Amino acid sequence: MLTDKRVLLIISGGIAAYKSLDLVRRLRQSGCTVTAIMTSGAQQFITPLAVGALTATPVYTELFDREAEQDVGHIRLARDHDMIVVAPATADLMAKMCHGLADDLATAVLLASDIPILVAPAMNPKMWSNPATQRNVACLKEDGKFLIGPNSGEMAESGESGVGRMAEPFEIADAIESHLAETTPTVVDPLPVGPLSGRHILITSGPTHEPIDPVRYIANRSSGKQGHAIAAAAVAAGARVTLISGPVEQPDPIGASVIHVQTAAEMLSAVSSALPADVAIMAAAVADWRVASQDSNKIKKDANGAPPALSFVENPDILASIGNHPDQRPALVVGFAAETQNLLENARGKLQRKGADWILANDVSPETGIMGGDTNTIRLLSAEKVEDWPSLSKDDVARRLIDKIAATLA
């Protein structure tokens, strides 16, 4: 709950602005006061009237507003809240934030604030993957801003697919809740300093969902606990972390940049866009197959009782494409091998085939309780040797792996 919390929502100009109405509704439902600032671009997509009707507070649009500025209103707005949320954040607004521009009310408030700032980017996938935007993302993180999303999926305006969709309002509301629970109102948590400071670690986690038709999909039992624990341990060790997550119940690890995806194809596209990285840890249980042609309508039962004949095609192997990447292979590539038989032999095959440096092999037979459970028993294979780890909690496996990575890169 966000009872008595005060959020300043900055809405900038993108089609995702319409989702910020739902965000306001959710925040108010959880007891939060919301004040909104809209850029002139935002007003091309939604009106201040609609936003104000939902916030039930005045909506601010002008830097030099005679009434609001009698008491230097933009400075007050920057201070009188527990958190600033920029949703959607356009590429342009993020660039301005990086460079400290203050040529309208939104940017002036952002520059004058010393409270936590959560940024939810939304833009075309090409704009997101452009090195200029990626430099700005890194700069915002270095300045202590928190980022959520963007997610992978179809763009509302162009129908293109890729990474750039604004995080969903419920995800942003969850992130606000966890930040406000963890941060004191006036201090921005800087990224922790540790043995992996200055390193970029790319992690995949969770299952993928492969649609059969609009209501059905193929999934697996991965919970994402191990991959998410690794992401949290890497953040704690000072790394800049990009976590590409399939659909999971786990909360986004604080301090990691999380991209939510559904399918293996989306996961591969998000992983490729996140390169370069110093280390890749592919912990996701990627579905090996997807149906050859997804039905656009719900498949109906046959009158004769014959089940539908589904045919499958193989999904891209994300670990193999990173491990064998022609020009952007991370210095260290780590994969998992989930096996129910011939653990070492199968894991060794994966180490070679997928071009990995290490494989963390585990027996996921139902009786081990590893899939979905809280513990993991790892055998770490490299070209030279096999290391047997004791049975550990998934958090301890994560810390041990991150310590080993830090020692290897040192």
Q: Which residues are tagged catalytic?
A: 220
Part in contact with ligand CTP (CB under 6 A); list of ranges 3-11, 254-262, 285-293, 385-393: 285-293
Report the run of H or E that residue 174 belongs to, with start and end: helix 169-182
Query: Which residues, 156 to 185, sit near ligand CTP by CB under 6 A?
Result: none
Tokens 């991150």 belong to residue: 402
Residue 206 near residue 231, CB atoms below 8 Å: no
Nearer to ligand CTP, 107 or 315 (CB): 315
What are the distances in angstroms from CA 244 to CA 19, 75, 129, 182? 22, 37, 15, 23
Least spacing, CB of residue 230 vs ligand CTP, in Å: 12
Tell me whether residue 13 or residue 335 sits nearer to ligand CTP (CB atom).
Answer: 335
Token pair 């230097």 is found at 72
Work out which of 315, 332, 378, 402 binds ligand CTP, going by CB under 6 A.
315
Judged by CB under 6 A, which of 63, 264, 274, 343 binds ligand CTP?
264
* Residue 379 interacting with ligand CTP (CB under 6 A): no
d(CA 385, CA 369): 26
| Distance of alpha carbon 147 from alpha carbon 255, whole angstroms | 8
- In the complex, minimum distance from the CB of residue 317 to ligand CTP, in angstroms, rounded to a whole number: 4
Least Å from the CB of residue 263 to ligand CTP: 11
Among 81, 200, 335, 395, binds ligand CTP (CB under 6 A): 335
Between 131 and 326, name the residue whose CB sits nearer to ligand CTP.
326
Residue from 2, 284, 333, 343 touching ligand CTP (CB under 6 A): that is 284
Taking contact as CB under 6 A, which single stretch among the options 20-28, 63-71, 243-251, 281-289 is the one that binds ligand CTP?
Answer: 281-289
d(CA 317, CA 40): 44
Whole-angstrom distance, CA of residue 114 vs CA of residue 111: 8
In terms of CB distance, is 128 or 336 closer to ligand CTP?
Answer: 336
290 touches ligand CTP (CB under 6 A): no
| C-alpha–C-alpha distance, residues 99 and 116, integer Å | 18
Q: How far is the CB of 160 from ligand CTP (least distance, A)?
A: 23
What residues have CB less than 8 Å from 43, skipping those under 6 apart? 13, 61
The phi, psi pair for 4, rounded to 5°, reads: 70, 10
d(CA 52, CA 104): 19
Q: Based on the shown chain and the rule CB under 6 A, indicate whether residue 318 belongs to the binding site for ligand CTP.
A: yes
Residue written as token pair 């833009």? 123
317 is a site residue for ligand CTP (CB under 6 A): yes
Choice between 87 and 347, CB closer to ligand CTP = 347
* b/e burial code for range 172-192 (CB count within 10 A of at least 16 → b): bbbbbbebbeebeeeeeeebe
User: For residues 149 and 23, what is the distance between their CA atoms, to the nearest angstrom?
Assistant: 15
Our finding on whether 117 is near ligand CTP (CB under 6 A) is no
DSSP 8-state secondary structure symbol assigned to residue 90:
-
Query: Which residue among 145, 240, 329, 350 contacts ligand CTP (CB under 6 A)?
Result: 350
User: Min. distance of Cβ 369 from ligand CTP in angstroms?
Assistant: 18
Min dist CB 144 to ligand CTP, Å, is 31
d(CA 114, CA 153): 33
Closest alpha carbon to 57 in 79, 83, 75, 38: 38
List interacting residues with ligand CTP (CB under 6 A): 204, 264, 282, 284-286, 288, 315, 317-319, 335-338, 350, 354
